[in-house]
Each structure stands twice: as structure tokens, then as C-alpha cells.
């Protein structure tokens, strides 16, 4: 069984980092029962603060602005949940526009062997999208949106794909982890190019500092980000609580014409059909994977006599 999971997230969002760890745990749990299953993880950048400047904001001040009087309660909740998944959140340091961090992630995806095939998501219509759990808001679309692929930086020869391997995650997954861990556990600034260059070199994305800078400043990186990005605005984001929305859904549309209603980050689209909105527990994904396996088996043709 092959799963394709599109992940709508922002690198500055602590809920997205926690959601990543919970999704990883769900995948590992599923593989214990189905060791041969494969997972393609497709990163869809959702930039929460596209107008933000570089290195211009104190993280604690930003959090206070977002959560207001609830900030201490929210941060304690994140800290407790993070400890259960190996994350020790820190809220110090500075932050700013996260666009360049997404360019680094997309460069890693370019260098993963399965990136080209990942970006060919199957078409789906509003009638074919199933919210999971059922109370989660739905999303809709009308067409695929392939991404342009290039080799601005040299791409290494792909290694053979192991059975049950997490495709689309070899370099990409490492980069996401290093970026989020640096920003949310070690006080790094996701908008600081010096930090981004260190991450890119550590993860083997380029031979030298100039290669990383050239990528970040290139038209190709800007176009790739524009095509991969979900074009929502902060006004489309809400926190889903017990399946209820706290504000009206506002349809948005990406560059390829897929109309989506992303009302929380992180959000996930599994198999181009099952939409999981907001930060969910690992067991939600485990149950969804089981459901998809059951549907696959029920739709398989009978063996010939």
C-alpha cells in the first residue's frame, strides 16, 4: 500500500512541528503492522506571516500578540505535549519572514528521488473529499497542480528505494526537523540566512555557502515556492476545537487551480481525498490509515480461480 500525504504547514508554527512528530509516530505505528507500506510526504508551504520582515520580531512578543491573555496557558499546553514527543520548546530569540526556510525545504525535496512523482497529485472534486474525523472541515479542488522541476544545484544519484521507506522524506524530512528544532528548541531565527545556510550545508544540499545563497536568490526558487505554496492568508487560519470552526471558511486557490479551504495549520490531505484539519493525535492518523487499507482491500478485484 502506498500513501501520499500532503502537509500544509509553516516552519514558524510550533503546532506544525508537534504535528510532524505525531504524524511520524503514526507512520511508525502503522509500519509495525504493515511493514511493506510506503509513505510519500509532500510539503505544501503555508506562510502565516507573508508580510513579515527578516529578524525583526521577538518571539515572545509575537506569541503574546497571537494568544494575548491565553499565552501562558497555550505555551504550557505546547510544552507538555512536546515533552511526550521528544520536543523541549523554547520561546526565546528572534524571528521573521519564513519564506527562505521553505525554499530550503523545497530544495531538499528536489534532491529526493521521488519529488517529481509526488507533485502529480490525483485530481479530486468536492464530492470526493472526505473529512477525517467526520467533524473536521472539508476542502475541495478541481484539478492537479504539478510543480516545475529543475536542477539548479546538482542532484545526487538517487539511492534504491527500500521496501517500506518513507519516500519524499530522506533529505526533506531531515531539513524540516533541523529547521524546526533549531527555531523551536534552540532559539534560532528561521529568517536568518546564516542559520539557513548552516542547515543546508549540514544536510548536504550544496557544496558551499555560495551555492545556498545562489539558490535562495534564484528565480527558480521563487517560482518553485510560489507553485508549491498554498495561497492562504492569516485570516483563513483558525483553530479547530472539537470539530467546530471559530470563524467562517474562506475558499482559497493555489496556482494550479485547486480550490482548498485550509482553516488550520497543520492540515493534511491523504490520498488526495481524506482531509485532516488542525493538529491531531497520532491515533487519528493510525485509524485513517487503517480505513484506507480497508477500502483498498474491499475495492480490489477477486483472485481468479
Q: How do residues 36-56 score in pLDDT, each as one tens digit?
A: 999 999 888 999 999 999 988
Which of the pair, 190 or 264, is modelled with greater confidence?
190
pLDDT-based confidence at 292, cuts 50/70/90? very high
pLDDT of residue 124: 32
Which of the pair, 151 or 135, is modelled with greater confidence?
135
Q: Going by DSSP bridges, is the β-strand pair 252-253/259-260 parallel, antiparallel, or unpaired?
A: antiparallel
> Around Cβ 55, how many Cβ atoms within 10 Å?
16
pLDDT-based confidence at 120, cuts 50/70/90? very low
Question: Which of the four CATH numbers 3.40.30.10, 3.40.190.10, 3.40.50.970, 1.20.5.510 does domain 2-299 have?
Answer: 3.40.30.10
pLDDT-based confidence at 99, cuts 50/70/90? very high
| pLDDT over threshold 70, residue 178 | yes
Q: How do the domains of the chain map onto residue ranges?
A: 2-299
Q: What average pLDDT does range 168-192 have in this prediction?
A: 92
Q: What average pLDDT does range 51-79 have in this prediction?
A: 95
pLDDT winner (highest mean) among 127-131, 160-164, 201-205 = 201-205
pLDDT of residue 227: 86
Which of the pair, 270 or 132, is modelled with greater confidence?
270
Mean predicted lDDT score pLDDT of the chain:
77
Instruction: Measure the CA–CA gap between 227 and 256, rounded to whole angstroms.
Output: 7
pLDDT-based confidence at 112, cuts 50/70/90? confident
Cβ within 8 Å of residue 209, ≥6 positions away: 197, 201
pLDDT of residue 194: 97
Cβ within 8 Å of residue 191, ≥6 positions away: 52, 53, 54, 55, 95, 96, 97, 98, 100, 101
pLDDT-based confidence at 125, cuts 50/70/90? very low
| pLDDT over threshold 70, residue 290 | yes
Which of the pair, 74 or 255, is modelled with greater confidence?
74
Q: What average pLDDT does range 210-221 have in this prediction?
A: 96
pLDDT-based confidence at 259, cuts 50/70/90? low
H or E stretch including 295? helix 282-299
Q: What average pLDDT does range 218-222 have in this prediction?
A: 95
Amino acid at each position: 500500500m502506498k500513501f501520499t500525504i500532503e502537509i500544509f504547514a509553516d516552519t514558524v508554527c510550533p503546532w506544525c512541528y508537534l504535528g510532524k512528530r505525531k504524524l511520524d509516530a503514526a507512520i511508525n505505528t502503522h509500519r509495525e503492522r504493515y511493514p511493506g507500506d510506503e509513505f510519500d510526504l509532500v510539503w505544501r508551504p503555508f506562510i502565516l506571516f507573508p508580510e513579515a520582515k527578516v529578524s525583526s520580531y521577538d518571539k515572545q512578543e509575537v506569541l503574546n500578540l497571537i494568544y494575548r491573555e491565553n499565552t501562558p496557558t497555550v505555551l504550557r499546553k505546547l510544552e507538555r505535549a512536546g515533552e511526550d514527543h521528544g520536543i523541549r520548546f523554547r520561546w526565546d530569540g528572534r524571528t521573521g519572514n519564513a519564506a527562505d526556510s521553505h525554499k530550503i525545504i523545497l530544495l531538499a525535496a528536489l534532491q529526493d528521488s521521488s519529488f517529481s512523482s509526488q507533485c502529480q497529485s490525483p485530481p479530486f472534486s468536492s464530492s470526493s473529499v472526505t473529512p477525517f474525523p467526520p467533524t473536521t472541515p472539508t476542502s475541495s479542488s478541481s484539478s492537479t497542480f504539478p510543480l516545475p522541476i529543475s536542477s539548479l544545484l546538482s542532484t545526487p544519484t538517487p539511492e534504491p528505494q527500500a521496501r517500506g521507506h518513507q519516500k519524499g522524506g530522506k533529505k526533506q524530512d531531515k531539513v524540516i526537523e533541523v529547521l524546526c528544532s533549531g527555531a523551536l528548541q534552540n532559539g534560532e531565527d528561521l529568517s536568518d540566512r546564516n542559520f539557513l545556510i548552516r542547515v543546508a550545508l549540514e544536510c548536504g544540499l550544496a557544496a558551499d555557502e555560495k551555492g545556498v545563497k545562489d539558490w535562495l536568490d534564484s528565480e527558480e526558487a521563487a517560482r518553485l515556492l510560489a507553485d508549491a505554496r498554498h495561497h492562504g492568508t492569516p485570516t483563513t487560519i483558525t483553530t479547530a476545537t472539537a470539530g467546530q470552526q471559530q470563524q467562517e471558511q474562506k475558499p482559497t486557490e493555489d496556482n494550479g487551480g485547486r480550490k482548498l479551504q485550509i482553516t488550520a495549520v497543520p492540515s493534511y490531505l491523504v490520498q488526495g481525498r481524506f482531509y485532516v484539519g488542525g493538529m491531531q493525535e497520532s491515533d487519528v492518523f493510525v485509524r485513517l490509515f487503517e480505513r484506507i487499507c480497508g477500502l483498498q482491500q474491499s475495492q480490489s478485484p477477486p483472485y481468479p480461480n
